[in-house]
Amino acid sequence: MKIRKELNRQLYRQKAYGYEKSPYYLDEAVRNAILGGDAETLNCLIADGAVTLPAKMRTLSKNELRNRKYHFMILAAHLAESGMKGGLSHDESYMIADIYSRKADRAADGAALELLLQDLCADYTERMREIKKEGVLSLHVRKCIEHIYEDLSADLSVKGLADFANLNVSYLCRLFKKETGTTIKAYVTAAKMDTARNLLKYSDLSCSEIASSLGFCSQSAFTYAFRQFTGTTPKKYRN
């Protein structure tokens, strides 16, 4: 074991000086809100200052900011594990953590890390809420939703999804609206715009590349749709 001497020294110091192991997990109330998909409770906890990195941290780096970044990434990994237990797929759960970890690596200060942590928790909460909602959906609607998120550049028109589900167009429209509370077109638009905002915030893809990946025929069509949905242009949103 190559680090045995260092390990023994650190274990001795921990025992001699009563060193306490700081938990990497968030407050239990925060974790329960996230896993329960309870965005309202999470927002209250954020407002109360409960969503924060541990005040006492184990030293993983002598550089204070880098040390906080390392702890952020460990916490993100724990949330990914919790997300999988809650029903998220391995790839999706860890991709969320990876995206935020890369963002944290570029953070300029501790305040930026705290804001990223709040966004990280909010995104996991939203996905858990969606999963719980999907659990009460019919097989046909659930398949359509999975198809939407698997390939946002595919033919996601009402007819395209009806063909995919092998259902009558009018029947699928009624079923989708009844179970989700929204129309297929509105759901697809929201899915594309949510993805677009994440790509604008956390990737270096150009607007034309994002437009293509989301199935828009041109960058101008994407810009128009984005402005209609968010009230601003993609470029202004990214800046």
User: What DSSP element (H or E) covers 40?
Assistant: helix 39-47
Share of the chain above pLDDT 90, in %: 54
State the pTM of this model: 0.57
Q: Cα 17–20–23 angle (5° rounding)?
A: 165
* Torsion region of 49: left, alpha or beta (phi above 0 gives left; psi -120 to 50 gives alpha): left
Indicate if the pLDDT at residue 24 is higher than 70. Answer: no
Residue 86: per-residue pLDDT? 79
Give the residue-averaged pLDDT of 104-120.
Answer: 94
Residues of each domain in the chain carrying CATH 1.10.10.60: 139-238
pLDDT tens digits, residue range 174-215?
999 998 889 999 999 998 998 898 889 878 889 999 999 999
Indicate if the pLDDT at residue 19 is higher than 90. Answer: no
Indicate if the pLDDT at residue 134 is higher than 80. Answer: no
For 95, 126, 133, 169, the CA distances from 87, given in Å and listed in that order, are 15, 13, 12, 30
CB of 70 closer than 8 Å to CB of 59: no
Is residue 79 exposed (0-12), middle (13-18) or buried (19+ Cβ within 10 Å)? buried
CB of 224 closer than 8 Å to CB of 213: no
Residue at token pair 């993100």: 76
Indicate if the pLDDT at residue 230 is higher than 70. Answer: yes
Residue 18: per-residue pLDDT? 55
Share of the chain above pLDDT 70, in %: 89
Helix (H, G, I), strand (E, B) or coil at 70: helix
Which two structure tokens, joined as six digits, stand for 60? 């993983």
pLDDT tens digits, residue range 33-66?
998 889 999 999 999 999 998 877 788 899 999 9
Which two structure tokens, joined as six digits, stand for 37? 């998909």
Residue 194: per-residue pLDDT? 87
pLDDT tens digits, residue range 66-93?
999 999 999 999 898 888 877 777 878 8
The domain 139-238 is classified under which CATH number: 3.40.120.10, 1.10.10.60, 1.10.3210.10, 1.10.150.120?
A: 1.10.10.60
pLDDT tens digits, residue range 142-169?
889 888 988 888 999 999 999 999 999 9
Measured between alpha carbons, how far is 66 from 104 in angstroms, rounded to an integer? 10
Is residue 72 exposed (0-12), middle (13-18) or buried (19+ Cβ within 10 Å)? buried
Neighbouring C-beta atoms of residue 21, cutoff 10 Å: 8
Helix (H, G, I), strand (E, B) or coil at 142: helix
Alpha carbons within 13 A on the beta-carbon side of 136: 8
Which two structure tokens, joined as six digits, stand for 127? 């996905």
